[in-house]
Amino acid sequence: MKKLLSRSAVLATVVGGVGVVAGIAVATVPTSATIQGCYNTTNGQLRVVHDDSECRNAEQGIAWNQIGPQGPQGIQGIQGIQGIQGIKGDKGDQGIQGETGAPGTMGPQGAPGAQGVPGPAGVSNYSVVQGAGARSNAITVAFAYCPTGTKVLGGGFAQFGDDEVTQSGPLSDGRGWYVSLTTKQGGSWAYATCATVS
């Protein structure tokens, strides 16, 4: 294997004269961090190679880094002096209150609202009628008929004794109220609340 020269020895030889510098052969620089070269000890020429195995008989292999070592970190600078605080400005005067604006003109009358939902039908000729019960065998039936032109709105009955009510309600044609009882003793009355519904 060929003997490698140190970096310092080669650099001293290269800067020794212009003729030597002009003898440096330029080749493709390898992409690695270390540059390989061959130094001719006879004429001082230096050429870049990929590996020192490419050096000839009269050449010696050398190597140097493309990037030098990182320098030491510099000393931190002294912090600057804080500036003087500025003078506080004077408070501004309060502005004059503006005049009250004139009243606006009255707006036009709104459109009439929609007609409301009709209310429930009213009643008239209100009355309460009653009818006594009529007994037949063991059953008593009482009817209370409304006046002509009126309808039954409700009704009820009155019973006397222990009679058992079996039916109580309005007549199917709406003309009155009836009640039916199983008679044991006493009697009964039927009541009807009537009115004209418009």
CA distances (Å), origin 148, targets 125, 127, 151, 175: 10, 12, 8, 8
- What are 108-119's pLDDT values in tens digits? 999 999 999 987
- With respect to residue 116, please indicate whether it lies within any of the assigned structural domains: no
Domain end point (choices 34, 65, 96): 65
* Domain span including residue 143: 123-197
Confidence of residue 192 (pLDDT cuts 50, 70, 90): very high
Please count the structural domains in the chain.
2
Chosen domain end from 49, 65, 81: 65
| Per-residue confidence (pLDDT) for residue 170, from 0 to 100 | 94
- Does the residue 97 lie in any domain? no
Q: Which of 65, 90, 106 is the last residue of a domain?
A: 65
Q: What is the pLDDT of residue 183?
A: 72
Q: Strand, helix or coil at 88?
A: coil
In the prediction, which pLDDT does 51 show?
Answer: 86
Its pTM surpasses 0.75: no
Q: Is residue 79 part of a domain?
A: no
Least confident piece of the model among 5-14, 66-75, 131-140, 148-157: 5-14
